[in-house]
Structure 1
């Protein structure tokens, strides 16, 4: 990348412009330099909304529909995104820090220059998504589906991958060497084109042998 990710709200270049949001989220609305702080949004529809230079701190979104929403220069910290619909959404120059994404549908989405730092992603559907210059740093990815996705310059430093699916994914400089664990549920075929380390290769050796129909048996 690199994309600079501030640790504090006050460090955002647009922090002095932020104004506090009140009321529900609305479809096709344009939110410019808005601060969503500590609120809870349940089963609301904000499809097609645009978020430009916005901040989310301690916000809980549950069942919120954000299909085709656009997030540009958005910073989110300590938030919860549960059972949200982010299908075909667009993310650029954004960061999610210390958050939780669970049961999120984000297939067909596009992420460019996005950082996930210290996040937990569980049951997240990123099938057919396009990820470019994306970093998952010190995250836990459990039951995350990258099937048929296009990954370019994506890395996973310090992250644990558990029950992750990569079947059909297309990799261009995908770097998995820094991943703490590399648990794949659909075999090693989805790693074609990705970069892994020698220890990871040894860890995955039984899966490679099974995929190739090799029986490994010591006398």
Structure 2
């Protein structure tokens, strides 16, 4: 039996009742320009759905199954993805500032060109999770592993990166300015493409085994009032 074509819905306000109707049809759905603000979509099976330019402020997707879903151009401040299955999901050019992703499954999840300021990614399953050209300022990302990856143009400014694993990571155009780095690991990391502003010499011990530039070393020493000749 051939697969059913996706249902396409444009510029409608969508709530739980409408979503249940779509899921009962057994097809994947493409929502374009729809309003899902404050909708309770918790626990729904939304595998491989597509959300394009949707308004999702405070939407409740707690424990929803969003495996393979795609979000493009969506705005969802304070959205709730707690416990959701986001494996292989893709977020492009979205704004999910202050969203909750606590305990979500995020294996092979990708964020590209997104704003995740203040987002909470505590206790997530994150094998293969990647960020590119994304703002994670003031976000909570404790104990995530980025080992042996390349991180491109990501702003971690003032984020909680405690216990994160950055071993053998290459930073390209990133910011680690004023981040929380308690027990983070950087052995073998290449930090020459990272903004280390606000780093004190006492904090530099966290970067033991990493590579930094002469300019970065001079900036660290300048924090102590020392000059490098």
TM-score by length of 1: 0.73
The answer on 1:20 being equivalent to 2:35 is: no
> Contact (CA 8 Å) 1:125, 1:146: kept in 2 or not?
yes
The answer on 1:145 being equivalent to 2:167 is: no
Larger strand share, 1 or 2 = 1
Structure 1 unpaired stretches of 5+: 1-16
The answer on 1:189 being equivalent to 2:205 is: yes
Deviations 1:69-109 (A, max 9, x none): 23222221110012111122232223212111111111222
Residue in 2 aligned with 1:5?
Answer: none
Residue in 2 aligned with 1:103?
Answer: 118
Q: 1:157 aligns with which of 172, 189, 197?
A: 172
CA RMSD of aligned residues (A): 2.9
Q: Distance in 2 between matches of 1:134 and 1:110?
A: 17
Structure 2 unpaired stretches of 5+: 1-26
Q: 2:78 aligns with which of 41, 63, 69?
A: 63
Residue in 2 aligned with 1:114?
Answer: 129
TM-score by length of 2: 0.71
Paired residues, what number? Answer: 195
Report the 3-state secondary structure (helix = DSSP H, G, I; strand = E; otherwise coil) of the residue aligned with 1:205. Answer: helix
Alignment of 1:162-181 (within 5 A): 162-171=177-186, 173-179=188-194, 181=195
Judged with a 3 Å threshold, the aligned counterparts in structure 2 of structure 1 residues 90 and 136 are, in CA distance, closer, same or farther, namely: farther
Q: Distance in 2 between matches of 1:80 and 1:150?
A: 26
Q: 2:89 aligns with which of 74, 77, 88?
A: 74
Q: Distance in 1 between matches of 2:57 and 2:107?
A: 25
Question: Which is higher, the Rg of structure 1 or of structure 2?
Answer: 2
